[in-house]
Amino acid sequence: MSNIPNIDEIKVKMRNAWNAGDYGKFATYMEPGAIEILNGWNIAPGETMLDVACGSGQISIPAARAGVKVTGVDISPNWIAFARNRAEQEGLDAQFDEGDAESLPYEDNSFDVVATIVGAMFAPQPEKVASEFLRVCKSGGRILMVNWTPEGMVGHMFKEIGKHAPPPPGVAPPVLWGDEKTVRERFLDGIDSLKLTRKNYPLWTYPFEPAELVQFFFDFYGPTEKAYGSLDEQGRDSLRRGLETVFSNHNTDTNGTTTLQAEYLEVEAVKK
């Protein structure tokens, strides 16, 4: 049997997974950390920024509030509609487009900053993602990425999910975007500088214990909802126990709440 992946089929499944659940509610608990990361990037008012795999606008909306000229793009129509609605409610000048990180619907050299927070790493053809980031970024502009590492909490979570709902064969694991050697290979050409820094995701706290957090993921995070729904009762119980162990092992709280310690790789590349 061939291990050549059917990319179109994979993308349909990805879109369905991200459309499932309620990412707007799920992202509520991640948005404070995303804003802290955004603030550390020091994107100046008036600069143009493309937020790839923008989700519900975790950094697009705060950046637009700060005067950045924001465009967000995502493969999921549900989240584009959600982000547009947020921008309209706040009267923000931000554009949101449905689109693919591997084939961005923008001209060459369009943006001062091309950014993604744990989003573009899930596209199944990473070399195309790197090429597209470089293509739409202006000369001297910055490419900024936040990518989960294989060794961190989310890497362990993906391993646990993969035991029960295996990923498609022939596709590179998303967490390779969190591996320094791999990132250097993907950005081998076309950049002046590349800075890679391992950090822990800031401000990721839930007001309930790890066992309840597992249910929260099943209810609102599309990929885990889809994985859970594909299993029989025994498989569901096993996945639940596995995820509870992962969350408990990476919880820094002891007072009935959950603060996740999740390592990521911050990528900052400057285009030639």
Query: Which tens digits make up the pLDDT trace of 58-97?
Result: 999 999 999 999 999 999 988 999 999 999 999 999 999 9
Instruction: Work out how many domains the chain is built from and give that number.
Output: 1
Give the pLDDT of residue 219. Answer: 94
- For residue 227, is it within any domain? no
Beta strands in 99-247 (DSSP E): 111-117, 137-148, 191-200, 205-206
DSSP β-ladder status, 191-200 and 48-52? unpaired
Q: Is residue 256 included in any domain, yes or no? A: no
Tokens of 226: 């889809």
Residue 267: give its domain's CATH number: 3.40.50.150
Q: State pTM to two decimals.
A: 0.95
Q: What is the pLDDT of residue 14?
A: 83
- Specify if 240 maps to a domain: no
Instruction: Spell 247-259 as b/e; 16+ CB within 10 A means b.
Output: beebbeeeeebbe
In 3D space, the residue among 268, 272, 271 whose CA is nearest the CA of residue 43 turns out to be 268
239: exposed, middle or buried (C-beta count within 10 Å: 0-12, 13-18, 19+)? buried
What percent of the chain is predicted at pLDDT more than 90?
87
**Stretch 206-235: mean pLDDT, rounded?**
95
pLDDT at 37 over 50: yes
Question: Which residue stretches of 54-166 are H helix?
Answer: 60-65, 77-90, 126-136, 153-164
pLDDT band at 1 (very low <50, low <70, confident <90, very high): very low
Residue 176: domain span: 7-150+166-203+262-271
Residue 24's pLDDT band, with cuts at 50, 70 and 90, is confident
Give the mean pLDDT of the chain. 95
Q: Is residue 123 part of a domain?
A: yes
If you average pLDDT over residues 194-211, what whole number do you get? 97
Whether residue 75 lies inside any domain: the answer is yes
> In which band, very low, low, confident or very high, does the pLDDT at 188 lie, cut at 50, 70 and 90?
very high
Question: Over the stretch 123-158, which tens digit does the pLDDT of each residue have?
Answer: 999 999 999 999 999 999 999 999 999 999 999 999
Q: Which SS3 state, helix, strand or coil, does residue 256 take?
A: coil
Q: Is residue 231 part of a domain?
A: no
Query: Is there a domain that residue 155 lies in?
Result: no
Rounded CA separation 173/163 (Å): 14
**Assigned domain for 251 exists:** no
Question: Quick check: 244 and 214 in contact, CB under 8 A?
Answer: yes
13 membership: H or E segment, kind and range = helix 7-19
Residues 6+ apart with CB under 8 A from 245: 160
Share of the chain above pLDDT 70, in %: 99
